[in-house]
């Protein structure tokens, strides 16, 4: 089981974690994610996760552990799955933040096809999404311990981000 323990850090310790290397690691992770999704390779996608990873998809479904994740992704990307013929744009890094040595939170913009309540997709429509990854550096590799995918709802509020307002 992977555990993230609370720890006190000193400024010297924080300074030892170069942000540029963490950003490069985040971009490398996102590139591997994009490559695996483009190939519809459930095993390769799952390999980017810790054994005890938890994923919450945009519909609120919670998937625990790499084995269950591999099964869920195998269905979604398999020959009869809704994503089998889908093309996904690359993730776009929005925020990368080191929160402890070897622990980073990465948020990326993404798009997925609209999925209807019956599990089929509408290939002509996409959902804008934000994907949040909690990444752990293990044996020199960044792996997702937590993944949370949410659809972006269009809003026109004084504090709305560019691109969040309705067109």
Annotate 132-155 with b (16+ C-beta within 10 A) or e (fewer): bbbbbbeeeebbbbbbebeebeee
> Using one digit for the tens of pLDDT, what is the confidence trace for 128-158?
999 999 999 988 899 999 999 998 887 777 7
Q: Which domains does the chain have, with CATH numbers?
A: 17-151 (3.10.450.50)
Q: Could you tell me what percent of the chain has a pLDDT over 90?
A: 56
| Distance from the Cα of residue 98 to its chain's centroid | 16
> Using one digit for the tens of pLDDT, what is the confidence trace for 76-131?
999 999 998 888 899 999 999 999 999 999 999 999 888 888 888 888 888 899 99
Instruction: Look up the pTM and report it.
Output: 0.81
**Residue listed under structure tokens 């004084």:** 158
| Close Cβ partners of 113 (under 8 Å, ≥ 6 residues apart) | 82, 83, 86, 121, 122, 123, 125, 126, 127
């Amino acid at each position: 089981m992977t555990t993230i323990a609370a720890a006190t850090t000193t400024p010297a310790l924080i300074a030892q974690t170069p942000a540029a290397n963490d950003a490069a690691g985040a971009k490398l992770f996102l590139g591997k994610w994009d490559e695996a999704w483009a190939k519809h390779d459930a095993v390769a996608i799952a390999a980017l996760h810790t054994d005890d990873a938890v994923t919450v998809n945009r519909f609120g479904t919670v998937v625990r552990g790499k084995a269950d994740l591999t099964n869920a992704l195998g269905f979604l990307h398999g020959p009869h799955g809704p994503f089998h013929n889908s093309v996904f744009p690359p993730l776009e890094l929005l925020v990368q933040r080191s929160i402890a040595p070897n622990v980073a939170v990465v948020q990326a913009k993404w798009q997925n096809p609209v999925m209807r309540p019956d599990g089929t997709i509408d290939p002509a429509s996409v959902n804008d999404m934000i994907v949040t990854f909690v990444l752990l550096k293990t044996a020199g590799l960044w792996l997702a311990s937590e993944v949370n995918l949410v659809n972006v709802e269009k809003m026109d509020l004084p504090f709305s981000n560019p691109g969040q307002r309705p067109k």
